[in-house]
Structure 1
């Protein structure tokens, strides 16, 4: 049975190879809370997807000592934007106050900041052509 699973996994890998030119994006997020919290990171491939909050990929991980590192694998060349937040109260969402301002730390790739709302895709977009590393801070 174990051998059958191994053969199946190997066959699946041959049927679904990584796209030619696929790259990995290594991300470091800093300036989070010192206490361990869950960091949510969403990756967007278009302005429309970002505006609709429909990520191409998303990850969660524990921040330790205010920072976290993660990797998105197999990305085709293109423009991407990331947004993230530190879930400081553990409820799985970015909390806001009565006027809609975030009450938990959040951030965007390029350390982009918006006016009267979140930054747009173009402000946060990075160009990914080969394996790359980026970093940004939470506010």
Structure 2
């Protein structure tokens, strides 16, 4: 049996193969946007630093996969991390109230500037672990961090 000449053309074969395999590709493999609202910041203008982590090892070593710095006004800020692959992520944020570019701490190592984590996770005398702060992103998601 001989195939029709039209089906033997490479471009047509490629198109047919793509049409047959398309339903087999994972729907969740599409990129998603993570929208973040940060509230309960200082009344005075400050700079918000936000870091995004994709796994526990990076979170523990402060190796973020993305980071943003945005102005906070009236204790609030909004930002977006676009095009994220599906998976689990954790966020850390702090409001730099004195403009020195770092989270200030007291002699005991406790933060003196406002900070927060995704899931509003809280640690016990330390930052919460990745599991406590992790959020699942399979599609566009909007979340909020309340600074403390």
Residue 58 of structure 1 corresponds to 67
- From 108, 115, 138, give the equivalent of 1:99: 108
Aligned equivalents of 1:88, 1:64: Cα separation in 2: 11
How many residues are matched?
120
Residue 11 of structure 2 corresponds to none
> Rg: which structure is higher?
2
Q: What's the CA shift for 1:34?
A: 1.1
**Comparing both structures, which one devotes a greater share of its residues to helix?**
2
Aligned Cα root-mean-square deviation (Å): 0.6
Note the 1:38-57 alignment, pairs <5 A. Answer: 38-57=47-66
What SS is found at the alignment partner of 1:90?
coil
User: So what's the TM-score if we normalise by structure 1?
Assistant: 0.85
Aligned equivalents of 1:85, 1:95: Cα separation in 2: 10
Q: Which structure 2 residue ranges, 5 or more long, are not aligned?
A: 1-28
Q: Which structure 1 residue ranges, 5 or more long, are not aligned?
A: 1-19
User: So what's the TM-score if we normalise by structure 2?
Assistant: 0.80
After TM superposition, the runs of 4+ consecutive aligned structure 1 residues lying more than 6 A away are none
Aligned equivalents of 1:99, 1:81: Cα separation in 2: 25
- From 89, 94, 111, give the equivalent of 2:98: 89
